[in-house]
Amino acid sequence: MTTPASDYHTAADTVNPGGLRLDDVTLTLGDGDAAVTALDHVVLSVAPGEFVAVVGPSGSGKSSLLAVAGGLQRPSSGTVHIAGTELTALPDKERTAARRRHIGFVFQQSNLLASLTVLEQLLLPLHIDGRLDAAARARAVELVEAVGLAHRAASRPHQLSGGERQRAGLARALMTSPAVLLVDEPTSALDRVRSAEAVRLIAEQTHERGTATVMVTHDTAIMDVADRVHEMVDGRLS
């Protein structure tokens, strides 16, 4: 990033300098009669180490919220701050760099590469970046252990259960020590017991590692584990 970090700070940043903040975010998808307000003046602030759940029915805008929060999609209006940087003010290339540096995604599908072992999934991004050193390897081993996959470190995705694939995806997302962790519907592929385990694991990692975590789901069972629960209805967050 060539612009000094201080240029991205505003007075409001002091409220939540390390986490995630969405201010008055609106996202309109499609044109004309087909236009949909996926996000409607959304305000959300998540502090480091805080686990926020967003529950809401299918089509209410949950995935859109994560896409905008994570810089995958520009909002139609409003601002997104990540770790003190205004993501929405950055040109595409710098936004992509900020996303890689500060944000971990756990998607519905784990998007693991079929030919790589669990450990290799974690190491690949660093390998591509030319940053694969002993410290990175040690961190990968530690994370694979933290998500309970030490015995699966050398397994490939087809040898794993759905829950194990999801835990591998979580470990991979944590590999860059992201300031912000965004999780989409982690429970959909799992039975109730396993999904409760996955949610507890995400909460534990959030508190231990100080990530600002947002998890969206239609499963209201998450309410017991989250620090805060918001409800999304028709693109509005309450």
Residues that bind ligand ADP (CB under 6 A): 29-30, 36, 38, 56, 58-64
Residue with tokens 């429970």: 187
- To ligand ADP, the closest distance from the beta carbon of 65 in angstroms equals 7
Partner whose binding site includes residue 217, from Mg ion, ligand ADP, none (CB under 5 to 8 Å by kind):
none
- Report the largest interatomic distance among the alpha carbons of the chain, rounded to a whole angstrom: 55
Q: Which does 19 bind (CB under 5 to 8 A by kind): Mg ion, ligand ADP, none?
A: none
Give the separation between CA 113 and CA 82, rounded to whole angstroms: 28
Q: Which is nearer to ligand ADP, 57 or 145 (CB)?
A: 57
Minimal distance, residue 47 CB to Mg ion, in Å: 24
For 226, residues 6+ apart whose C-beta sits below 8 A from its C-beta are 51, 52, 53, 203, 215
Asked whether 84 and 194 are in contact (CB, 8 A), the reply is: no
Cα 237 to the center of its chain, rounded Å: 18
Which partner in ligand ADP, Mg ion, none is near 64 (CB below 5 to 8 A by kind)?
ligand ADP
Q: Smaller CB distance to Mg ion: residue 111 or 159?
A: 111
**Which entry of Mg ion, ligand ADP, none binds 35, CB below 5 to 8 A by partner kind?**
none
- In the complex with Mg ion, the residue whose CB is nearer, 67 or 225, is 67
Smallest gap from Cβ 188 to Mg ion, in A, equals 9
| 62 vs 194 by CB, closer to Mg ion | 62
| Beta-sheet pairing, 20-29 with 36-46 | antiparallel
Interface with Mg ion (CB under 5 A) = 62-63
Helix (H), strand (E) at residue 201: helix 192-209
Cβ of residue 62: shortest distance to ligand ADP, in angstroms?
3
What's the closest the beta carbon of residue 216 comes to ligand ADP, in angstroms? 7
Nearer to ligand ADP, 56 or 84 (CB): 56
Residues whose CB is less than 8 angstroms from the CB of residue 9 and which lie 6 or more positions away in sequence, other chains included: 17, 84
Min dist CB 26 to ligand ADP, Å, is: 12
Dist CA 200 CA 222 (whole Å): 9
d(CA 1, CA 215): 28
